[in-house]
């Protein structure tokens, strides 16, 4: 009988680590050594998850103090750097959908350890229909699926829509990013949620999450939080 079939039947994982490819992977798809070496976002702004010095006497960054975002808090367990960036770009641009299960379970564990109160639903940042057709899937939805399952929270796939086709944020200067997203999203009014979590793969400038959070707040949602696997270290000017 086929050996792999036998092992799958009893639920063991003998696939190689997604990062080093040599050792046996653990429960999450990477080996314990690689997991230990991931760039943790250990000291972050409580509001936007931007890394701040451990010595900082406040837990909120200067930018959030000056101009607080529409969301209540952002959680991103890793810094967008090697080697986790390769897993994220693999998921986003190279159809490596198996990375979503790994990244989703790493994020779920971080949330289980750090969240005091769960939201009523999880909303992946939507893609514009034309970009969805081009890519064939939404990486934020692929990340949100295992997350919703692990945490037992309702997944709202169509509550938010991207109604304006915007230029990719990465093509723009930081100063133009907020303007690029003006009226980019629409949120349906129907279910009266009070607490919602928006899921994205990476928080870069934070403008995308903030634009969507703004729409939820306009629809009367009291508390919006942002969950992402990683936070890019860039400051909006």
Residues in contact with Zn ion by CB under 5 A are 17, 19-20, 31, 34, 45, 47-48, 50, 61, 64
Closest CA to 192 of 228, 166, 219, 163: 219
Q: Give the C-alpha separation, 24 to 26, whole Å.
A: 7
Q: Which is nearer to Zn ion, 24 or 171 (CB)?
A: 24
Closer residue to Zn ion (CB): 19 or 99:
19
**Would you say 160 and 200 are in contact if contact means Cβ atoms under 8 Å apart?**
no
CA gap 236, 178 in Å, rounded: 10
Dist. CA 111–CA 107, nearest whole Å:
6
Compute the least distance from the CB of residue 6 to Zn ion, in Å: 24
Smallest distance, Å, CB 28 to Zn ion? 11
Nearest residue (CB) to Zn ion, 75 versus 141: 75
Q: Give min distance, CB of 115 to Zn ion, in A.
A: 18
Residue number, 148 or 203, with CB nearest to Zn ion: 203
H-run or E-run covering 226? strand 223-231
The alpha carbon torsion through 91, 95, 97, 103 (nearest 10 deg) reads: -10
CB of 127 to Zn ion, least distance (A): 26
């Amino acid at each position: 009988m086929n050996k792999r079939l036998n092992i799958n039947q009893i639920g063991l994982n003998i696939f190689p680590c997604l990062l080093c490819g040599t050792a046996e992977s653990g429960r999450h798809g990477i080996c314990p050594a690689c997991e230990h070496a991931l760039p943790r976002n250990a000291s972050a702004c409580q509001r936007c998850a931007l890394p701040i010095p451990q010595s900082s006497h406040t837990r909120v960054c200067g930018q959030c103090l000056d101009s607080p975002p529409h969301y209540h808090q952002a959680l991103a367990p890793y810094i967008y750097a090697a080697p986790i960036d390769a897993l994220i770009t693999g998921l986003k641009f190279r159809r490596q959908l198996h990375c979503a299960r790994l990244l989703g379970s790493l994020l779920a564990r971080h949330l289980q350890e750090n969240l005091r109160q769960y939201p009523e639903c999880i909303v992946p940042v939507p893609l514009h229909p034309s970009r969805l057709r081009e890519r064939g899937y939404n990486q934020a939805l692929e990340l949100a699926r295992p997350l919703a399952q692990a945490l037992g929270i309702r997944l709202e796939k169509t509550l938010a829509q991207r109604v304006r086709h915007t230029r990719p944020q990465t093509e723009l200067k930081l100063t133009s990013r907020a303007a690029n997203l003006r009226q980019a999203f629409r949120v349906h009014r129907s279910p009266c949620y009070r607490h919602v979590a928006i899921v994205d793969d990476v928080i870069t400038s934070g403008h995308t999450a903030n634009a969507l959070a703004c729409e939820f707040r306009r629809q009367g949602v009291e508390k919006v939080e942002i969950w992402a696997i990683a936070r890019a270290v860039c400051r909006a000017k």
